[in-house]
Amino acid sequence: MATLGGFFLFAVILERLQQEQGTQIVVISHVGALHERLAHRIEVRPQGNGRSRLRISGPEGVEEGPSLPAPADPSALAALQSVDPEALVAALPAEGTPVSRRSLRKDLGWDEDVFKSAVAGLIRAGRIEQPAGSKSLRRRIAH
């Protein structure tokens, strides 16, 4: 079992490494005395209903970070890992004709959260697009 003195020594070593080498080090700890020694902290504070808020503090002051959603349902994560986003791309017409999101999701038989995650990833990757003001998706055609 570590002693409080051991935690202080650990904090001093971390501070030295950061100062001498310009390295960033992340420590995850439940020890309050260690928290007080570290200049910069990111805390995750529960808000209830499974939501949390980030609190970032350091020598410059304290900043309340964004509110974080409740952790994803493990079954939804498993479902997302079991689908192939390329199946969504393949279900869209090659010539770039828009297809409604609802009918596409129904044709694929995917859960709504899984579908939304796959769509978001494919849009970020530039594989598909959603025309402005539309609820449809289409393949992105390279020009």
* 10-34 pLDDT tens trace: 667 777 777 777 766 666 666 666 6
Mean pLDDT of the chain: 76
Looking at the predicted structure, is the pLDDT value of residue 65 above 80?
A: no
Q: Which residues of 99-134 are buried (b: 16+ CB within 10 A; e: fewer)?
A: bebeebbeebebbeebbebbbeebeeeeebbeeeee
* Domains defined along the chain, listed by start: 1-38 (no CATH), 39-70 (no CATH), 74-139 (1.10.10)
Judge contact between 30 and 53, C-beta under 8 A: no
| DSSP conformation class of 128 | E
Q: Which residues of 65-92 are buried (b: 16+ CB within 10 A; e: fewer)?
A: eeeeeeeeeeeeeebbeebebeebbeeb
* 120-143 pLDDT tens trace: 888 888 889 998 888 999 998 765
Of residues 57 and 23, the one with the higher pLDDT is 57
* Cα 102 from Cα 78, distance rounded (Å): 22
CA torsion sign for 32, 35, 36, 41 is: negative
CA torsion sign for 123, 133, 87, 140 is: negative
- pLDDT at residue 1, as a whole number: 44
End-to-end distance of the chain based on CA atoms, in angstroms? 63
In the Cβ-directed half-sphere of 96, how many Cα atoms lie within 13 Å?
8
Mean pLDDT of 25-52: 71
- pLDDT at residue 52, as a whole number: 76
Structure tokens at 104: 């596409």
**How sure is the predictor about 101, in pLDDT bands with cuts at 50, 70 and 90?**
very high
